Structures are given as structure tokens and as C-alpha cells.
């Protein structure tokens, strides 16, 4: 961080043209962490000047996504559209200072020049036709109502513009390679390059942390800063996020799987997603991957941001890994390890959404609810799993995993007779605990001469709907005597429906 500033001020400035996607979320997270680490300000600015594509729904989607992730902002949201007059004044000021000029070239004239350059297999660059128009001539043409754009006057020099990127290091750009670029359209509307730079100046932004695809704009924005007599902020460009085919992750190419809302709807914990997104392009020297909020703020530095593009290991068509497996693994870690009271709040919402939350889980059954969540969470990867794989603990309306039938767990011909009899045995034991249920089941196995594997696996499948899970006797106690007995008595019908 530069010593020239006493207080860090960074911003996240999304365009509200769709949902908050993971690339935008990562940019917001990096800025937010940087501000928190340096006890600075994180500013939210909505760049909504594209009236045709910007929508109120998209704006709310961005705000809601940030709130869900736990990314709080210190100022804003500001709206770029409110500052258009300031952008236009800046363009006029640049003309007055001799750093910009009115260009009256028509679209047809410019298209002809581009076509000529293409035919000659030469790169096109505006030839500065209007650069040296006298003020009087420009005023006369403007008075006649001839449309014009405002172009920035790139320094006429053989030197290079040099700046230091906090990720990529020293960057050089020859002035000859920068054409006189447009900053104001013929309809008077400012372009992004101008609006973004002016807003950053007005907001006192000290560090611009954004994606690597913004690097091409940086030399031109630095020229605007300097022409207006302002010191540019420091720049840090993050690597792009690519898929396995080395294509840039985007809304258009990858659809909803790159939406923050997608992860929310698919049972991700907010901080788990933050933790995963931070790792897309940043690492610590010890390759650590799990961080609390405080640990991440302490550990983060721009020096740890990689110059190499990161890979989002998205596997379309794979139902198990509907997104990057590392993201699922991190989410599973938090489900297994977070305080059970915190987890209960998230699971409550999931069970409510699927119609199997009992209000007593917040009252008389609270202790049972927490103990049950703690019992079953070890194998779960998302919050969805509690309402699908674990549904049998909270509702009598649950399905049996087809994998259990594929393993032929219920194929033994005597199970139709055995399981109802076992139900009667379990209904008669005086105490419903792990010791008593295990003793009853193992005693039944000894009496019938059945294989313990056949009985135990069948009981698990019929009672929980799953062929794997926590210890069977812990499961039976959690589900309760009444439900266990009822399900074992109904086992013949279940077996007939699936195997006959």
C-alpha cells in the first residue's frame, strides 16, 4: 500500500444488467477484505448509465447477493447515473485545458477508413482528422448543428506511459499505441472510461481492484486523471476465472451456475462461498484453504494474488458435482464444523421451504433437533441434503434412495416376514436407547439365523431411506420408536412396490 494515503478507499462498481455472478462477487470480496484489512472504506457504486439494460430487479439482486454473502459496505449504494452532469463537465473541462477536442467525423467516414485499413491488413487507429481544428472552426461547426463526439487528445510523444500494477508489476504502454479515444458520444452521453475515472476521483478512491480484463483501460484512465490534475489511484488487476475449456466464466456462456443466487438455492452457506471465491486467484504461502472472517482479513494481501488465470472446475451434467468440487468440499467442511446453533438456523429455512419443519424444533424439541443435526451432518455437502438425504428424520414422507435398491439390500425373500416381527420386538423394549435397540436387533438376528448385514442394512434402508449414514442404533434412537416401528411394519409394502 502506498504511503501517500492515510486511509484506504476502494469500491465495487457493478453494472446492474443481470444477477450478481461469481466473478463480480469475487471482485467485491477482494475489495471488501482489502478495506477491512487496512481499516479503510468499502464503497458500493452502481454503474447504471446503460438505461436499456439496467433494471431495478438487477440492482436489488446485486444488493441482496452482497448482503447474503455478508459483504457490508461503508458508503452507498451510489448511482453513476446521478453524476452524468459531472462527467459531461469533466469532458468540457478537458477541452478547455487542451486535453480533448470535438470530433465531427461521421460514422460513414470512420467506417470507410476502417474498411480501408482492413483491406490493407493494417490495424485501424483514428487518424486525428479533427485534432487540429481551430477553436473558431470547431465552434462554427458546432453552431451549424453538426454532430460531434469528444475525443481525448493522447500526448503526441514517442515516450511510454508507465504504471505499477500491484499484481502484474510495471506496465508500459507506448503513447503511439493509444488512439485519441472517445469520452463523450454524439448524443452527449459519457463513455465508461470517463465516467468511471471521474467517479473514482470524486469518491476519493485510492485503490482500484478489478479483473484483468480491465487492464487494457487503465492507461487511458490514467491519462484522464493526469489531464484533470489528479493523481491516479493504485491499480491491482486480478486474474480471470476460466472453465476447464479455458473459456472465461460469464453469464452468457455458463448461465445460472455462475450466479450467486444459484449457490444460495443449492444449499451453500454464505461464508463457504466467500471462502471458495477468495481462493480463485489467491493463495497463502502454506496453501491453507479454510479461513474464518477474521483469519481471512488478517491473511489477505495483494501479494498473494496470482498472475495466472484461475480455473473454475465446473462440470456440466455431473449431478454430484453440479459445480466446482472444491466449492462443494469447502461447503461440506463448514456444515460439519460450524457451531450447531448456527447450522440450525440455515437448516430450519431449508426444512421450512420443503414443508418438513416442526415449530416445536424451536421449542420443546429443540434439544432433539440440535442433536439430530449433529448426528447426520457428517456426510452432507449442502443444506439441501438435510431435506433430501435426511428427510426421514423430520418427516414420514420420504423416498428411498435408488442406490439402495441397486445394491439389492431388500432382495432377501424373508425380509417381508422378518421386518414386521422385528417391529413388534422393538415396540416392546422398555427403554428406547442405543443399548436396548442394539440388543433387540442382535437378539433377533441370533434367533432367526439371519445375516447381520442383511438385517442391519435392510432396517437402515427402510427406516432412513438411505443405505449409508451414521451408526444404525444412533439413527433409530433419533428417529424415535413410533416412527421406526411404523416403518418396519410397512416394509413389505415398500419392498413389493419397488422389487416386484
- DSSP string across 182-209: EEE-TTSPBPHHHHHHHHHHHTT--EEE
Percentage of the chain modeled with pLDDT above 70: 96
At residue 248, the pLDDT reads 82
Q: Which CATH number fits domain 85-184: 2.40.50.100, 3.90.800.10, 3.30.420.40, 3.30.450.70?
A: 3.90.800.10
Grid coordinates of 6? 492515510
> pLDDT for 386-431, tens place per residue?
999 999 999 999 999 888 888 888 999 999 999 999 999 999 999 9
Residue range 76-89: mean pLDDT, rounded: 96
User: Which residue is associated with the grid cell 416376514?
Assistant: 417
Instruction: Give the pLDDT confidence score for residue 1 in this predicted structure.
Output: 41
Torsion over CA: 92, 96, 98, 99 (sign):
negative
pTM of model > 0.85: yes
Q: What is the pLDDT of residue 314?
A: 74
Mean pLDDT of the region 16-33: 92
pLDDT of residue 3: 41
CATH number of 400-500: 1.10.10.350
Active site (catalytic) residues:
251
List the domain boundaries for the chain. Answer: 85-184, 339-398, 400-500
DSSP 65: H
Higher pLDDT, 323 or 180: 180
Contacts of 114 (CB under 8 A, 6+ apart): 124
Sign of torsion over alpha carbons 404, 494, 398, 470: negative
Domains 85-184 and 400-500 share a fold: no
pLDDT at res. 2: 41
- Alpha-helix residue ranges (DSSP H) falling in 207-299: 218-227, 251-254, 260-265, 270-278, 293-299
Beta-sheet pairing, 149-152 with 182-184: antiparallel
Give 271-286 pLDDT, tens digit per residue.
Answer: 999 999 999 999 887 8
Amino acid at each position: 500500500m502506498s504511503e501517500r494515503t492515510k486511509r484506504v478507499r476502494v469500491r465495487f462498481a457493478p453494472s446492474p444488467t443481470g444477477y450478481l455472478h461469481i466473478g463480480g462477487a469475487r471482485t467485491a470480496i477482494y475489495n471488501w477484505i482489502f478495506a477491512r484489512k487496512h481499516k479503510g472504506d468499502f464503497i458500493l457504486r452502481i454503474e447504471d448509465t446503460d438505461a436499456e439494460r439496467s433494471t431495478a430487479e438487477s440492482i436489488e439482486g446485486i444488493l441482496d447477493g452482497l448482503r447474503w454473502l455478508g459483504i457490508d459496505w461503508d458508503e452507498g449504494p451510489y448511482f453513476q447515473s446521478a453524476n452524468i452532469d459531472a462527467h459531461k463537465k469533466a469532458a468540457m473541462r478537458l477541452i478547455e485545458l487542451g486535453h480533448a477536442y470535438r470530433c465531427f467525423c461521421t460514422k460513414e467516414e470512420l467506417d470507410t477508413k476502417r474498411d480501408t485499413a482492413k483491406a490493407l491488413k493494417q490495424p485501424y487507429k483514428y487518424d486525428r482528422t479533427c485534432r487540429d481544428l481551430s477553436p473558431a472552426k470547431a465552434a462554427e461547426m458546432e453552431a451549424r448543428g453538426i454532430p460531434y463526439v469528444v475525443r481525448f487528445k493522447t500526448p503526441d510523444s514517442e515516450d511510454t506511459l508507465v504504471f505499477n500494477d500491484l499484481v502484474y508489476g510495471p506496465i508500459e504502454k507506448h503513447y503511439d499505441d493509444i488512439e485519441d479515444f472517445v469520452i463523450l458520444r454524439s448524443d452527449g452521453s459519457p463513455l465508461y472510461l470517463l465516467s468511471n475515472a471521474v467517479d473514482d476521483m470524486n469518491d476519493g478512491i485510492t485503490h482500484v481492484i478489478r479483473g484483468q480484463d480491465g487492464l487494457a483501460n487503465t492507461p487511458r484512465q490514467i491519462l484522464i486523471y493526469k489531464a484533470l490534475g489528479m493523481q491516479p489511484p493504485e491499480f491491482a488487476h486480478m486474474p480471470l476465472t476460466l472453465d476447464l475449456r479455458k473459456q472465461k466464466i460469464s453469464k452468457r456462456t455458463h448461465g445460472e451456475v455462475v450466479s450467486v443466487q444459484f449457490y444460495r438455492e443449492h444449499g451453500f452457506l454464505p461464508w463457504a462461498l466467500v471462502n471458495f471465491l477468495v481462493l480463485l486467484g489467491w493463495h497463502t504461502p502454506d496453501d491453507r484453504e479454510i479461513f474464518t472472517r477474521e483469519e481471512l482479513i488478517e491473511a489477505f494481501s495483494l501479494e498473494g494474488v496470482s498472475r495466472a488465470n484461475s480455473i473454475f472446475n465446473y462440470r456440466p451434467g455431473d449431478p454430484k458435482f453440479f459445480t466446482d468440487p472444491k466449492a462443494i468440499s469447502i461447503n461440506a467442511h463448514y456444515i460439519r464444523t460450524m457451531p450447531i446453533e448456527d447450522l440450525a438456523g440455515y437448516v430450519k429455512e431449508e426444512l421450512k421451504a420443503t414443508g418438513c419443519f416442526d415449530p416445536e424444533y424451536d421449542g420443546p424439541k429443540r434439544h432433539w433437533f440440535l442433536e439430530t443435526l449433529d448426528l447426520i451432518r457428517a456426510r452432507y455437502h449442502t443444506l439441501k441434503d438435510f431435506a433430501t438425504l435426511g428427510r426421514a428424520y423430520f418427516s414420514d414422507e420420504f423416498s428411498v434412495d435408488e442406490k439402495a435398491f441397486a445394491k439389492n439390500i431388500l432382495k432377501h425373500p424373508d425380509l417381508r416376514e422378518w421386518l414386521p416381527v422385528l417391529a413388534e420386538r422393538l415396540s416392546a423394549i422398555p427403554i428406547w436407547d442405543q443399548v436396548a435397540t442394539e440388543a433387540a436387533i442382535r437378539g433377533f438376528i441370533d434367533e432367526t439365523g439371519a445375516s447381520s448385514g442383511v438385517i442391519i442394512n435392510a432396517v437402515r434402508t427402510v427406516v432412513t431411506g438411505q443405505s449409508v449414514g451414521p451408526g444404525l442404533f444412533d439413527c433409530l434412537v433419533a428417529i424415535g420408536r413410533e416412527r421406526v416401528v411404523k416403518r418396519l411394519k410397512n416394509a413389505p409394502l415398500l419392498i413389493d412396490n419397488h422389487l416386484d
